[in-house]
Structure 1
Amino acid sequence: MEIRKPNDAEYKKILSLSPQALFEGTLGEVKLSDEKAKQLIEALLQKGSDYLIATEGDHLMGWILIGTKKDQLTETIYGFIYELFVLEEFRGNGISKRLLEAGIEHLKREGYSEVRLSVYAGNQAMKLYEKLGFKHRTITMSMNIPRS
C-alpha cells in the first residue's frame, strides 16, 4: 500500500465519493449533493488543505483530508482532520490507521503541535481515534424541539 497525494483522476474519484463519505461519517444525518460537497472541499483546498490517499496498484482504497483551523477562543491555529474515508471493500485492513498516522505526521512536519477532528457520537471510528491518543475536548449536544 502506498500513501501519497492524489493525481487529477484520483481527485475526481474522491469528489464523486465525498457525498457518500459525509453521509456515512455523519451516520446518515447529512446528505449533500455532489455540487455542494465539491464546493465545501474546494474551499478547504483553496485554504491549503491536502488529501493523502491510500492506493494499491491502480485502486483507490481511501483518503484523509487534512488542513488547519483556528480556535475561536484562543486564536491558536492547529492541524485538523476534515475527513477520513476507506472504501467499503477495503475496510478492516488497517488503512484508516495508516492514513491517520500519515496525516498526523504531515501536520507535525508542517509545525503543528496539536491535531483535532470532529466525529459524530456513535461513529465506529471513535475507537480508532482514542487508540491513537485523541481525547474528548468539547462535546456538542443537541435536542430536537417538538413542533407545536
Structure 2
Amino acid sequence: MIQRATESDVEKILVHSAESLYEGTMKTSKFSQEKVLEITTPLLEKGAYYLVIKQDNILKGWVLIGSNKDYFSGEEIGFIYELYVLHPYRGQGFSRQLMRVAVDELDKLGYSEIRLNVFAGNFAKELYKEMGFVERQVVMSLKREDEK
C-alpha cells in the first residue's frame, strides 16, 4: 500500500537517506547525516513530502515529491526529488508503483509538468523513459587532475 509518510516513516527514511543519495549519485558522493538533513529539511519545509510503500507495516521504499521553479521561466513545476527501494525489496516492481502514484499525485496537484534529475548511469533512467520522461537538459563535466 502506498500512502503519505507518517512522522515515524520519515524518521526511518532519514536513517537510509545517506545510502539513497550515495546510490543515486552513482556512488560518487558519500553523505553524512548532517548533509542529508541539509539537503532534505528545506524541501520538507517548503511542502515536499514522502510517499511510502509498506506491506505488513514494513517500509519497503519511498518517493519524495514536491515542487520546484523552472530556472528560466520561473514556472512552478512538479518535482520528484528521490526514489528509493530498500535492498531486500528490489526487483518486485515497487519503484514503478511509487513512480505511478507520485506522477498521479503531482497531476492532481495541478502541475503541468513534472521533472526529476537522474545520473546518466542510473538504472532507474530506463524506468523514467518507459513512463514518458524525456531528457531535457544534459549536464557535462570534465575532471581535471592537479598539475604538479
What TM-score bracket applies, with the shorter chain setting the length?
over 0.9
Partner of 1:70: 69
Identity of aligned residues (%): 40
State how many pairs are aligned: 147
The CA distance in 1 between the partners of 2:4 and 2:42, in whole Å, is 18
Structure 2, unpaired ranges of 5+: none
The CA distance in 2 between the partners of 1:61 and 1:53, in whole Å, is 8
Correspondences of 1:63-142 after superposition (within 5 Å) = 63-142=62-141
* Structure 1 residue runs of 4 or more that deviate by more than 4 Å after TM superposition: none
Partner of 2:26: 27
The CA distance in 1 between the partners of 2:49 and 2:23, in whole Å, is 21
- TM-score, scaled to structure 2: 0.97
Letter in 2 for 1:146: E
Letter in 1 for 2:66: G
Q: CA deviation at 1:127?
A: 0.6
Native 8 Å contact 2:65 2:80 kept in 1: yes
SS state at 2:39 partner: helix
User: Deviation string for 1:52-78 (max 9, x for gaps)?
Assistant: 000001210000000111111111111
Partner of 2:52: 53
The CA distance in 1 between the partners of 2:23 and 2:31, in whole Å, is 11
The CA distance in 2 between the partners of 1:25 and 1:114, in whole Å, is 22
Structure 1, unpaired ranges of 5+: none
Q: CA deviation at 1:39?
A: 2.4
Partner of 2:8: 9
The CA distance in 2 between the partners of 1:19 and 1:101, in whole Å, is 24
Native 8 Å contact 2:5 2:49 kept in 1: no
SS state at 1:63 partner: strand
SS state at 1:140 partner: coil
Letter in 2 for 1:51: Y
The CA distance in 2 between the partners of 1:100 and 1:30, in whole Å, is 24
- TM-score, scaled to structure 1: 0.97
The CA distance in 2 between the partners of 1:72 and 1:101, in whole Å, is 26
